[in-house]
């Protein structure tokens, strides 16, 4: 197993203490390769997209951010070579992720190949995740520093469970955190923790995503009581919830004494094929990588949050999430 105490990034391994202010749930380029080939997007220009990403990361650096986690995994069009172009020119470290975004189910290849499948044999999902963690992603040599899994409002389906199982098995090669996409309206994070726990993943190595969109504070308290981290990670995403509601829920969680379980982010992208730039400009103009620092943190300060609390959510807790149990003493 890869030793604790360093974090894999596109620019090499980094000591957790050197990560600095960190956004734990972002995306650079969300693509749909088969769609893109068959029906090219008039809004996609690779060189322009890379330049835009570098410009936005420069803006993050100016706002104090030093690291982001890019949770774009296969199923969302991950392209490590493209992100490497950005990483080589940008002043902010980028952590890559492995996993599979099985929204709507796994591709037919995985349904036909693996233990007990038509083409019986080892699970190719495990092979993929382990290779990403230990050798590098897509031949780049860049190792993943996180794993992403998903379930939706209908719970953990058979395909989702297979990704969860592969993620848990792959963690034997590198003790990285597991980030989840959880439905905020159905208490889906609890089932995710149940399944991951049975598979041997400690709750304190899990960030349950998108829970900031739930106004169900008892649900969030239960997740935290189990040891999981709480992803308030959709600031600016107006079509899923309002920032007013997110801020109210955040203060309720902080009032409950759960500061050390909270992380902040946007779940934003430089370019997404699913919600392209023109749509975002019209419908979610605040959904971008600078919104937290430009609008949300000033609001939190005005409403009484101190710099120590902000540092906890942007520096101390992300350091523990990415660095692992070696940094639990920071709590």
Could you report the per-residue pLDDT of 16-52, keeping only the tens digit for each?
A: 999 999 999 999 999 999 999 999 999 999 999 999 9
| C-alpha–C-alpha distance, residues 141 and 81, integer Å | 10
Give SS3 for 297: helix
pLDDT of residue 153: 95
What percent of the chain shows pLDDT beyond 90?
Answer: 96
Could you report the per-residue pLDDT of 196-222, keeping only the tens digit for each?
A: 999 999 999 999 999 999 999 999 999
pLDDT of residue 331: 39
Q: Mean per-residue pLDDT for 100-117?
A: 96
- Is there a contact between 149 and 163 (Cβ–Cβ < 8 Å)? yes
pLDDT of residue 326: 57
Nearest to 227 by CA among 323, 321, 99, 327: 321
| C-alpha–C-alpha distance, residues 132 and 138, integer Å | 8
pLDDT of residue 279: 97
pLDDT of residue 152: 95
Could you report the per-residue pLDDT of 245-298, keeping only the tens digit for each?
A: 999 999 999 999 999 999 999 999 999 999 999 999 999 999 999 999 999 999
CATH 3.20.20.140 fits 7-330, yes or no: yes
Give SS3 for 216: coil
Give the residue with greater pLDDT, 2 vs 243: 243
Encoded tokens for 258 = 């759960």
Nearest to 10 by CA among 74, 126, 98, 93: 93
Give the residue with greater pLDDT, 191 vs 4: 191
pLDDT of residue 43: 97
What percent of the chain shows pLDDT beyond 70?
Answer: 97
pLDDT of residue 328: 47
Mean pLDDT of the chain: 96
| C-alpha–C-alpha distance, residues 123 and 144, integer Å | 19
Could you report the per-residue pLDDT of 141-184, keeping only the tens digit for each?
A: 999 999 999 999 999 999 999 999 999 999 999 999 999 999 99
| C-alpha–C-alpha distance, residues 289 and 301, integer Å | 19
DSSP 8-class letter at 40 = -
pTM of the predicted structure, to 2 decimals: 0.96
pLDDT of residue 325: 73
Residue 178 bridge partners (DSSP)? 147, 206
């Amino acid at each position: 197993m890869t030793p604790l105490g360093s974090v894999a990034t596109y620019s090499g391994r980094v000591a957790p203490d050197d990560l600095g202010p960190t956004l734990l749930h972002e995306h650079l380029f969300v693509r749909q390769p088969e769609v893109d080939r068959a029906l090219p997007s008039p809004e996609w220009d690779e060189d322009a997209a890379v330049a835009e990403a570098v410009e936005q990361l420069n803006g993050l650096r100016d706002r104090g951010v030093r690291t982001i986690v890019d949770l774009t995994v296969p199923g969302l069009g991950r392209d490590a070579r493209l992100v490497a172009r950005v990483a080589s020119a940008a002043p902010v470290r980028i952590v890559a992720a492995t996993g599979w975004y099985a929204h709507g189910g796994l591709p037919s290849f995985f349904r036909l190949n693996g233990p007990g499948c038509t083409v019986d044999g080892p699970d190719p999902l495990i092979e993929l995740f382990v290779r990403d963690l230990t050798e590098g992603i897509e031949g780049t040599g860049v190792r993943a520093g996180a794993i992403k899994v998903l379930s939706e409002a209908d719970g953990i389906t058979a395909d989702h469970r297979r990704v969860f199982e592969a993620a848990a098995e792959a963690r034997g090669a590198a003790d990285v955190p597991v980030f989840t996409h959880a439905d905020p309206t159905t208490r889906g994070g609890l089932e995710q923790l149940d399944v991951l726990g049975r598979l041997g993943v400690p709750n304190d190595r899990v960030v349950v995503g998108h829970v900031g969109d739930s106004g169900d504070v008892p649900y969030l308290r239960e997740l935290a009581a189990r040891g999981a981290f709480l992803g308030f990670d959709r600031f600016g995403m107006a079509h899923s919830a309002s920032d007013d509601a997110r801020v109210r829920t955040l203060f309720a969680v902080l009032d409950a004494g759960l500061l050390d379980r909270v992380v902040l982010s946007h779940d934003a992208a430089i370019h997404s094929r699913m919600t392209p730039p023109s749509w975002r400009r019209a419908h979610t103009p605040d959904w971008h990588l600078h919104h937290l620092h430009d609008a949300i943190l000033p609001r939190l300060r005005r409403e009484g949050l101190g710099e120590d609390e902000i540092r906890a959510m942007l520096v101390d807790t992300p350091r523990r999430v990415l660095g692992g149990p070696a940094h639990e003493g920071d709590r």
